[in-house]
Structure 1
Amino acid sequence: MTFYTYNYLHSSQDIWQYARITITCVLVLIFILFLVHYLRHRFDIKYKDLSIIFGTLLLLILGMQYNDFSNIQNSIKQSGQITTVMEKIAKQLKVSKYSISVNSTTPDDDVLVKTPKGIFRVDYNADGSQFVLEQIVLHDSSSIKIEGAK
């Protein structure tokens, strides 16, 4: 069973996804530069060809990014929600938020929280606005792996 620390969840906001968006923006700028250069020098075919190549590459990457962007936003939102829950749990148990970890990156029904005071299950109410902590005992606690631990 894998648990994720507060630092891991807070810092892993899909940096690679933002790098892909940055690369796309750079390709847009290069495409615009080649297009403007072609429009200034209409008789120079190489800028037309470069504009078409970068335009096609840009359309291909934008097509792949279209679906990923909404997934990025959902992932960031859910990761932010679980870190907020972790902060509330740390405050309720009077421990540091950096000393607790959860077994899920999204706030769903089966969230376990590992703290210095034990392992707790998080039970949400019907609308998910409040939760109750229930202390549990795992039969095999040797299989716990913590991601983001120093």
Structure 2
Amino acid sequence: MTFYSESFFLHQQQVTSLINYIAIVVLLLLVIFNTIRYLRHQLRTRNRDLGIIFFLLLLIFTGLQITNLERTVTQRSQSLQMRPFIQAVAKDHGLKSSQVVVNSTTLTDGILVRFKGKDYRVNMSPSGDNYTLTRAHVVDHKVNIQH
């Protein structure tokens, strides 16, 4: 079972997005380079073909990046709710927020909170402005904490 600490939500990095941005920039440079070469030597169709291939790859990576950005915005807006929740649980129980971990990246009813070696199930109100903790017992005691 994986639990997430507050620092995980602070430093969530999007490595996939970075790789896609680099690929888009490289492909854009290749398209520009091949376009210039094609305009200089119009009789060589190899440069035109390579330019078309690089342009198609650029479109594919741009589409993937747009999809990733949409997913990232949704995940980020949901994970922004977790930090205040973790801080509220820590404050209510006299703990540091670094001592509280949760098993989900989104704040929903039924997630597990762990502190002081005990697990609690979160029952959220319909409005989401208050919660109750109920003692829970997990089946899998192997815990992986993501920082």
TM range (shorter): 0.7 to 0.9
Aligned counterpart, 2:10:
10
Q: Equivalent residue of 2:49, what SS?
A: helix
Secondary structure in structure 1 of the residue aligned to 2:92: helix
Tell me the equivalent position of 1:145.
Answer: 143
Q: Does the 8 Å CA contact 1:4/1:102 hold for their aligned counterparts?
A: yes
When the two chains are superposed, the root-mean-square deviation of aligned CA atoms in Å is 2.6
Q: Deviations over 1:99-129 (max 9, x none)?
A: 111011111111211112743332222232x
Aligned counterpart, 1:28: 28
* Structure 1 portions without partners, runs of 5+: none
Q: How does 1:94-113 map to 2 (within 5 A)?
A: 94-113=94-113
**1:127 aligned partner:** 127
In structure 2, runs of 5+ residues without a counterpart are none
Determine if contact 2:37/2:47 at 8 Å carries over to the other structure: yes
CA distance in 1, matches of 2:54, 2:122: 50
User: Aligned AA for 1:136?
Assistant: R
Q: Does 1:43 align with 2:35?
A: no
The structure-2 alpha-carbon separation of the partners of 1:131 and 1:30, relative to structure 1 and needing over 3 Å to count, comes to farther
Separation in 2, partners of 1:63, 1:42: 31
**Change over 3 Å in CA distance of 1:133–1:146 after alignment to 2:** farther
When normalised by structure 2's length, the TM-score is 0.77
The number of equivalent residue pairs is 146
Q: Could you say what secondary structure the match of 1:55 adopts?
A: helix
Q: Residue 104 of structure 1 aligns to which amino acid in structure 2?
A: S
